[in-house]
Each structure stands twice: as C-alpha cells, then as structure tokens.
Chain A
Amino acid sequence: MISLSNIYKSYQTGQSTLQVLKGIDLEIAQGEMVAIMGSSGSGKSTLLNILGILDEADQGKYVLDNTLIENLSERKAALYRNRFLGFIFQSFNLINYKTALENVAMPLYYQGLPRKERIEKANYYLEKVGLADWATHLPGELSGGQKQRVAIARALAADPKVLLADEPTGALDSATSYEVMELVRKINEEGKTILIVTHENDIAQMCKRLVHLKDGVIIEDKLVQSQSPKEYV
C-alpha cells in the first residue's frame, strides 16, 4: 500500500539547514496498523506529512497504492488527498462554524457527490463513531473525545485507502484516549490501513507494528502483540 525508499527531508531556517529525515525506507501493506514513535523533534510529523501529501520530500521515492507520488501539481495533490487519504489531527481541525454532520460531509463535497448522498454517508459515519445524536451540534458544543470522533468520521467519510493520525490522543485524557483507540482499532479490523504518530507507549502498544524514529532514521521496526485498550481501562 505504501512504499517509501530513501526519503530525505530538510528544513531551511535562516542560514542553517536542518536535516530532519535522513533516508527512510518503509513498506506498509494493506490493513496494517502502524505506530510511529520517537522523541520530540525526531521527524515523526514530518514523515506523516510527506505520507499525507501535505508536504514534499526533498529526495526519495514514494509510492502510494501503486501510484508514484512525485512532482504533483496542487490540483493533483488535492485530488489524491481526497481519494486516498484520511487525516486525524491532534487539534481535531474541525471547521468551527459547521455542524458535526457538515464537517463529516466536507470531503464528500470535494468529491463532488450530490447533496443527498453526502448527508446520507455523513450520517452513516457519524453513527459509526457513536455520535448520531450530535449531528447538528457545532464543534464548540462537543467534548474533546467527541470532536476527535467527528474528525475520525470525517476521515472515514471519503473511504480513503490510508488513515493518517498525528497524535490523535494527544489532546485527550487517558480514558477518552482509549475510547478513541478502540474506535480506531475497530476501523483497522474492517481492513483500513492506519498510521498513528504517538509518543505514548500505551497507545503504541494498541497497534500491530511499531516503527521507531531517531534523528531522522528508523532505528527499530517490529511487530507488537497488539493489546486491546479495554485491558487498560
């Protein structure tokens, strides 16, 4: 599903160049649930942004679902994000003047689906994350966990190939975090490929594979005995 080879990425800050990713090779198959761990500043978000076509690598080859991601126009990039990728952010990134339902329907709007179908699908995914009763509420009226679940529904709505989550539980307390992770695992069990950036060990342990980044290289890549969040509660 995902194939990275020899990915380099650096940031220019003033005079100096900060080399963040120094040759990443990574293969992720359909249906995997991968945790990306590492200390702060190790390049986790940078890697995820490249995977999400939100940013571009300086060097290296990225193939997503048999499509080479290279020198994309903004238009093409938008199209691929819309078709292939679902995002879950630490700070939720919901549009605050739109209701939960409208937020979930957003990617469908950019897919060009007719209104009726959008509403139908959005309702289906809201129900899936257990927020059917909150459809008409604005993000401001929801708790952190609820917001993240709306964001998950939104990420799922377009039925992407891959879900990318950058510290999805970073803004949540542990009980809520586990609820969210439970949901994510359920989605993975239905066959979706999922990548989660986290620096929390317990969250990483709920995934099936763990990739450890340090100073821009992968220092460890192992399968984990996936634990259910229920065991932590």
Chain B
Amino acid sequence: MFDRDRWEEIFQTIAKNRLRTFLSGFTVALGIFIFVILFGLGNGLKNTFQEFFLDDATNIIRLYPGNTSKPYKGYKTGRNIQFTNEDVEAIEKAFPQYVDYLTVRIYRNGEVRYGTHSNSYSVRGTSPEHLFAENTIIMKGRYLNYSDIANAEKHAVIGRLVEKDLFEEEDAIGKYIRIRGSTFKVIGVFQDQAGDNEERNIYAPYSTVQLLDGGHEYVDQIIVAFKPTLSYGTVLMFAEELNKYMRERLIIHPDDNGGIYLRNVAKDYQQNQQFATVLQIIVSFVGLGTLIAGIIGISNIMVFVIKERTKELGIRKALGATPSSIIGMVLQESILITIVSGYLGLMAGVGVLSWVGDTLKPYFIRNPEIDLGTALGATIILIICGGIAGYIPARRAAKIKPIVALRDE
C-alpha cells in the first residue's frame, strides 16, 4: 500500500489516462455534490418549518371569544361573548394543577408617532408573562413588569423595526412616543424569531390599554400556558375541561360551535412534529437515492475501466504481474480517484450551499446546510462502494488467463 513504486505507477496511469480518470472522478464528485445539495436544501426546508413552530412556546392554549350560534338558558343566539380580567383569575384558581402561567392580549391598531415620524402599528395590551408565550427576546431596556400592570403605567416595549422606522439611528429607550394620542415611554426594544411582522408590534400593559379605553375590564384573548411536564394526553384532557369550564362560566351551550374558540398549540405542534418527521424521511430518501445512483455510476465506470484495460493487464501478467498486484493496482487507483474527487464534490457542494445561504428564503428554504458527519459519511460510503465496485471486475480481470486478455482488442 505504501510502496513508492506502486504509487508512481498509479500516478502515471492516472496522468496518462485523463479521460478515464475524469469519468470516474466526475461521477463520484457529481454524486457527492448532488447529495450534499439535495440534503442541504431538504434541511433548509426543515429549518423554515421548525422556525414557524418553534418561534412561540408550545405549551399554550389560546382562548378567543366570539358570537354564540345557539340559544342557551334564556339567552338568544348571536350574543357577543367577551372575556374579562376576572375570567383570567378564575381559570388560575380553577386549574392550579395544570396552569403554568396565564396572560392576555388586547389588540389595538393605531397611529404611533415620534417627532416627525409616524406610522401605524399593532399595539398589544398584555402582561409580563407574555414574554414567555411569544418567546420575545429583549434587545435592550426591559420588558413589562408587574408594577407596570398594577400602576397602569404608560410604558411601551417596541419591536426592533418600530425603533428602526421611528427612531432611525437614535436610541429609543427612555424616549416618549405618542400612541393613539397618548404619550408612552419606551422602556424596551425586542426581537422576535418569527421575523419582520412580529417586530412591528408594540407591547403595553393591558391595564393601561383598558384605562385609556375608558376603564373597562375586557380582554381579546386569554393565553393559558400549561405546565410543560404534562403528558400530551393530560394536555388534551385539560383543554377539554377548560373549554367546558369557560362555557359554563359564560353560559354558552356545550355544543355551540361559536361563542368561544380554543386553539391548542400543543396539538398543532404534535401534528407539525409528525410532518417534520415525514419531511426528514423524504430528505433521507432523496439523499439515499442520489447515493445509490452514484454507486451505480461508479460501478459502471469501473466495469468500463477494467474492460478498457483488459489487454494492458494481460501484458502486465505476461511480464510477471501477480493477480494480487493487478487487483491492488486497479483498486488503489480507483480509491485514490474517489477520495480526491469525493473531497472535491463535497467541498463544491458545501461551497454552493453556503453561497446560496438565505437567498432561497422566499421558497421556504432557510439556511440550507449539511452536517459534516452526514457529508463525510456519504463520501466514505461512496468511496467504499467504489472500492467494492472496482474490486469485483478487477478480480475477474486478474483471473483471466493472460492469453485471453492478450487477445482482447
């Protein structure tokens, strides 16, 4: 294997038989290249997908009020249901064993102004716990706290893009902005993984929003975070009980499709995880398929290479080459070519992936990448298979009687 003469012989055959070298090298390089690209794009698809769902916390049940569609206990159909602060407290008291935390949302869209800049943003009245439900990341300053809620402070936490729009290069912290005609102090700037839309929101204490609206106690959405340790079955049961509890409390028919809506993020998440698994399987299959195509390609080329060399091998045998030296020479050559071209294909694939980067984001492919282990594993498999593919015809060629090989034209 480390015989210098053998290597010289191999380098010479490689250098003098360019087409052959190119053909086998190209097949391997292309196989690995396509494998890396497809696998990377598949991973990109998965990344996009996971980002959609891993953005928010997944131990969440959302409750929305609506209009009833059934008469019940003396109430007419079409009644407008509204949630209040009391409902939130009641849920907390009723399900202490399940509830991790609770938070609310009040939606208000409106004109927001700073100096000469103004724009329309969605303002969410909420509580400190909302930070966890939304996976909000504070870039600077702070998020809402309990004293903000208790004192109905006119404090605002603004999205990164709100700061960019209104403040340009200026630092927003401590500055005053006008929201729907009232002056708020900016206490924090946040980021959100979900991207641009989420970063054009403004969070304010729900109590402040209620106060400015004239002192009501309504909320537009209740977010119930259950304890993350609960089993999936328990979560489904809890969601069921919560639904029943709220319908009793707000006097809504148990079978009414309207009145109250409940969205169990955990359930969505479960389904999405299954979808992600399916996606992973598809990606793996595509990768495997490419690899098999590559192996078949290199096998064919090895058969062709040996066929082409039959006469040469016959001459070598007549001159005293042993069968093992013939096999060794052919194999060492093919392994050298596969290693070098496999490496080139790998590098090219990884290069293209990193060059593509996030430019395919509009096509739901984000950060296409392949982990080094998978890529190297695929390359090694192809090298080994190339070796086996070379070994079989090489052994056959080594076994042919020299006169038969010499007769080959």
Q: Are A107 and B16 in contact (CB under 8 A)?
A: no
Interface residue B211 (Cβ < 8 Å from any Cβ of A)? no
Choose from B5, B13, B317, B324 the contact partner of A97 (Cβ within 8 Å). B13
When the two chains form their complex, are residues B318 and A93 in contact, meaning their CB atoms are under 8 A apart?
A: yes
CA distance A115 to B7 in the complex (A): 12
0/1 string, A134-168, CB within 8 A of B gives 1: 00000000000000000000100010000000000
B residues 366-409 touching A (CB-CB < 8 Å): 398-399, 401-403, 406
A154 to B312, CA, bound (A): 15
Does A78 count as interface, using CB distance less than 8 angstroms?
yes
Does B315 touch A at the CB level, under 8 Å?
Answer: yes
Tell me whether A55 and B401 are in contact in the complex, defined as CB-CB below 8 angstroms, given that A93-B406, A106-B316 are known contacts.
yes
**Partner of A75 from B12, B16, B323, B406 at Cβ < 8 Å:** B323
B192 to chain A, nearest CB (A): 65
Find out whether the CB atom of A54 lies under 8 angstroms from the CB atom of B319.
Answer: no
Interface string of B324-345 (1 = CB under 8 A from A): 1100000000000000000000
Taking a contact as CB atoms under 8 Å apart, the answer to whether A154 and B319 are in contact is: yes
Contact A79 B322 (CB under 8 A): yes
Nearest neighbor of A89 in chain B, beta-carbon distance: B406
Is A109's beta carbon under 8 Å from chain B? yes
Of B311, B321, B403, which one neighbours A110 at CB under 8 angstroms? B321
Cβ of A3 within 8 Å of any chain B Cβ, yes or no, is no
**With an 8 A cutoff between CB atoms, is A87 at the interface?**
yes
Q: What separation, in Å, do the CA atoms of A78 and B321 have in the docked complex?
A: 6
| A residues less than 8 Å from B12 (CB atoms) | 97-98, 102
Minimum CB distance partner of A160 in chain B = B320
Is B248 positioned at the interface, with any CB of A under 8 Å from its CB? no
Does the CB pair B324–A115 fall under 8 Å?
Answer: no
Q: Is the CB of A97 within 8 A of B322?
A: no
Whether A54 contacts B318 in the complex (CB less than 8 A), given A93-B406, A95-B312, A97-B16, comes out as yes
Which of chain B's residues has its CB closest to A112's CB?
Answer: B5
Q: Is the CB of B322 within 8 A of A107?
A: no
Chain A residues contacting B325 (CB-CB under 8 Å) are 110
When the two chains form their complex, are residues A93 and B323 in contact, meaning their CB atoms are under 8 A apart? no
B9 in contact (CB, < 8 A) = yes
- State how many angstroms separate the Cβ of B15 from the closest Cβ of chain A: 9
Query: Is B151 part of the binding interface, using a Cβ–Cβ cutoff of 8 Å?
Result: no
CA distance A222 to B16 in the complex (A): 48
Question: B17 on the interface (CB 8 Å rule)?
Answer: yes
B13 & A54 in contact (Cβ 8 Å cutoff) = no
Total contacts A-B at CB 8 Å = 68
Contact of B319 among A74, A102, A107 (CB under 8 A): A107
Contact (Cβ within 8 A) B322 A74: yes
When each residue 215-233 of chain A gets 1 if its CB lies under 8 Å from chain B and 0 otherwise, what string results?
0000000000000000000
Q: Could you say which residues of chain B place their CB within 8 Å of the CB of A95?
A: 312, 315-316
Chain A contact residue count (CB 8 A cutoff): 27
Beta-carbon contacts under 8 Å, A41-92 to B: 49, 52, 54-55, 74-75, 78-79, 81-83, 87, 89
A40 cross-chain contacts in B, Cβ below 8 A: none
Alpha-carbon gap, A94 to B311, bound state (A) = 10
B312 x A78 contact (CB < 8 A): no
Contact A75 B315 (CB under 8 A): no
A7 CA to B315 CA, complexed, in Å: 25
Q: Which chain A positions have C-beta within 8 A of B406?
A: 54, 89, 93
Distance A89 CA – B312 CA, assembled complex (angstroms): 14
- Shortest Cβ distance from residue A148 to the other chain B in the assembled complex, whole angstroms: 15
- Across the interface, A54 reaches (CB within 8 A) one of B311, B312, B403, namely B403
| Pair B320/A82 contact, Cβ less than 8 Å | yes
* Min CB gap B306→A, angstroms: 16
Determine the chain B residues whose CB is within 8 A of the CB of A75 once the complex forms: 322-324
With contact pairs A49-B403, A54-B402, A54-B403 given, residues A97 and B319 touching in the complex (Cβ less than 8 Å): no
Shortest Cβ distance from B406 into A: residue: A93
B395, chain A: closest CB distance, angstroms = 11
List residues of chain B with CB within 8 A of the CB of A82.
Answer: 319-320
Q: Which residues of B contact A49 (CB under 8 A)?
A: 403
Which residues in A have their C-beta under 8 angstroms from that of B401?
54-55
- Among B316, B320, B403, contact of A158 (Cβ-Cβ < 8 Å): B320
Beta-carbon contact of B5 and A111 below 8 Å: no
With known contacts A81-B318, A93-B406, A74–B399 Cβ distance under 8 A: yes
A106–B319 alpha-carbon span in the complex (Å): 7
Q: Is the CB of B320 within 8 A of A111?
A: yes
Fill in one digit per residue for B121-153: 1 if any A CB lies within 8 Å of its CB, else 0.
Answer: 000000000000000000000000000000000
Q: Give every chain B residue within 8 A of A102 (Cβ-Cβ).
A: 12
Some 23 contacts from A to B, beta carbons below 8 A apart, are: A52-B318, A54-B406, A55-B403, A74-B398, A75-B323, A75-B324, A78-B317, A78-B320, A79-B320, A81-B318, A82-B319, A93-B311, A94-B315, A97-B17, A98-B12, A98-B16, A102-B12, A107-B319, A110-B320, A110-B321, A110-B322, A111-B320, A115-B5
Closest CB pairs A-B (n = 8): A82-B320, A97-B16, A110-B320, A78-B322, A107-B319, A54-B403, A74-B323, A54-B402
Beyond the given A52-B318, A110-B319, please list 8 additional residue pairs across the A-B interface where CB-CB is below 8 A.
Answer: A78-B317, A81-B317, A106-B316, A107-B319, A109-B5, A110-B320, A110-B321, A111-B320
Which of A's residues lie within 8 Å of B, judged by CB? 49, 52, 54-55, 74-75, 78-79, 81-83, 87, 89, 93-95, 97-98, 102, 106-107, 109-111, 115, 154, 158
